[in-house]
Amino acid sequence: MEKIVIQTDTIQLDQLLKLAGVVPTGGAVKQLLLENRILINGVPETARRKKISPGDVVTLKWDDEEEEYQAVREE
**pTM of the model as a whole:** 0.90
Domains and CATH numbers, the chain: 2-73 (3.10.290.10)
Sheet holding 2-6, edge to edge: 2-6, 66-73, 57-61, 38-40, 43-44
Per-residue pLDDT of the chain (75 residues; tens, 9 = 90+): 999 999 999 999 999 999 999 999 878 999 999 999 999 999 999 999 999 999 999 999 988 899 999 999 977
Q: How many angstroms separate the CA atoms of 61 and 30, rounded?
A: 14
Q: How many angstroms separate the CA atoms of 15 and 4, rounded?
A: 11
- How far is C-alpha 6 from the geometric centre of its chain's CA atoms? 12
